[in-house]
Amino acid sequence: MDKGIISSNIEKAVAILRNNDLVAIPTETVYGLAGNIYSEEAIRKIFEVKQRPLFNPLIVHIHSIDQLDKIAKIIPEKAKRLAQTFWPGSLTLVLEKSEVIPDVVTAGKSTVGIRMPNHPVTRELLSKLDFPLAAPSANPFNRISPTSAEHVEAYFSDTLQMVLQGGPCENGIESTIVGFEDDEPVLYRLGAISVEDIEKVVGKISVRNKKESAPDAPGMLAKHYAPRTKLYLTDSVDALLAKHKNKKIGVLSFSKEISQPSIKSNIVLSKEGDFKEAAARLYESLHLLDNEGLDIIIAERLPDTDLGKSINDRLERAAN
C-alpha cells in the first residue's frame, strides 16, 4: 500500500530507476538513496539531493557475485574469502575498478566500493535491473542515517518520488568497509560487522578510518551521522549532567537507565547489554531524541569491543 512517497511497489521502483531517477531503498544496514551507476544524470542527482561533496565516493550495490568481475579488475584472495563469508551482508569491499565504472561514482579514484545487501526487497529489486545501484545513506550529508522508510520521507518528501518500503533496518548501522593495499586488507570504516569477525577470516587488519581530504571510502570524515541537537559523548554521564544543570537534557545510555531530575528523556539502547540490539536501535534513538526539543543530548560511550567500537565511532563523529 502506498502512503505519501512510501510504496511497496517494486515495479514502480524499477521504472523510476530506469528513467535515471532516484529511489530510496531498504537494506539491512540503513536506507540508501539509489541510482543507476551507469547514468551520470542519476549519480549527480544523488550528490545534489544529499548535498554530498563530490570528493566523497559512493558504494555500488549488486545482487550476485557474478557481477563482481564486470565492476572490479583485481580481486585479492582475501577479498574473495571475505565475500564468500559475509555476502550477502553488511560488508563493502573497496577494489580496483574496471573502466565501466564512471569516475563520478568513485570521486575520481581508481577503486570502487562494492557490496551485496542482505535485504529481500532490495535483492529482488536489483535482480530486476540490468545495472547495479549506487546508494549512499538516504539522509542529507552529515545528518542522522535513516533506518526506516519514515525517516527518509521526513528528510526528502519534497525531492524524492519514492521510498521503497522494507520495514526497519535489522542491523541499523552502515556496512563495514575493507580495502586492500598490497593485497592486504585495511579497514576504512567500522560498521555492522565487527573487526573481530573480520579478523577471524583474514587475520590481523590495520584500521585507517579517518581521512578528511579525498577519503578512500564513505564514513571517514570527522563530522558525520549528527543530530541537529548538540551531542556530547562521555564516559561519565553524571559528570556531564552536573555541568549542564539548567538545560533540557536527553540521555542515550547503553544498558542502564539513568535517573536524574534534569533528564527529560532517557533512551536505553539495550537493557541486556547486547551490542547487536544497541546498533540496531542507535539511529532510531537519535532521531527520537533529536525531535524532542532538547538543549543537548548526552551519549554514554560503550565498551570499546565488538560492535561497541562501531557504535562509539558513530557517536564520536556525531559529537564532533
pLDDT at residue 213, as a whole number = 66
- Reduce the DSSP state of residue 133 to 3 states and report it: strand
When pLDDT is cut at 50, 70 and 90, the band that residue 208 belongs to is confident
Residues in the chain: 320
pLDDT at residue 1, as a whole number = 56
pLDDT at residue 262, as a whole number = 86
- Nearest 5 degrees, angle CA 254-CA 257-CA 261? 130
The pLDDT of residue 218 is above 90: no
The pLDDT of residue 217 is above 80: no
The pLDDT of residue 161 is above 60: yes
Three cell numbers, residue 143: 545528518
Please write the tens of the pLDDT for every residue from 69-127.
Answer: 999 999 999 999 999 999 999 999 999 999 999 999 999 999 999 999 999 999 999 99
| Structural element, H or E, at residue 180 | strand 176-181
Residue carrying the nine cell digits 531530575: 261
Average pLDDT across the chain, whole number:
95
Three cell numbers, residue 7: 510504496
Round to whole Å and give the CA distance between 44 and 294.
35
* Count of CB atoms situated within 10 Å of the CB of 155: 22
- Reduce the DSSP state of residue 193 to 3 states and report it: coil
Of the candidates 165, 113, 184, 201, the one whose C-alpha atom is nearest the C-alpha of residue 6 is 165
pLDDT at residue 308, as a whole number = 98
Percent of the chain clearing pLDDT 90 (strictly above): 90
Give the residues across from 164 on adjacent strands: 7
The pLDDT of residue 279 is above 70: yes
Give the residues across from 24 on adjacent strands: 33, 163
For the chain, domains (ranges, CATH) are 6-207 (3.90.870.10), 230-319 (3.40.50.11030)
The pLDDT of residue 20 is above 60: yes
When pLDDT is cut at 50, 70 and 90, the band that residue 223 belongs to is confident
Three cell numbers, residue 313: 565511532
Q: Cβ(42)–Cβ(21) under 8 Å?
A: yes
pLDDT at residue 225, as a whole number = 86
When pLDDT is cut at 50, 70 and 90, the band that residue 2 belongs to is confident
Percent of the chain clearing pLDDT 70 (strictly above): 98
Task: Give the mean pLDDT of 160-179.
Answer: 97
| Structural element, H or E, at residue 93 | strand 91-97
Round to whole Å and give the CA distance between 41 and 39.
5
When pLDDT is cut at 50, 70 and 90, the band that residue 164 belongs to is very high
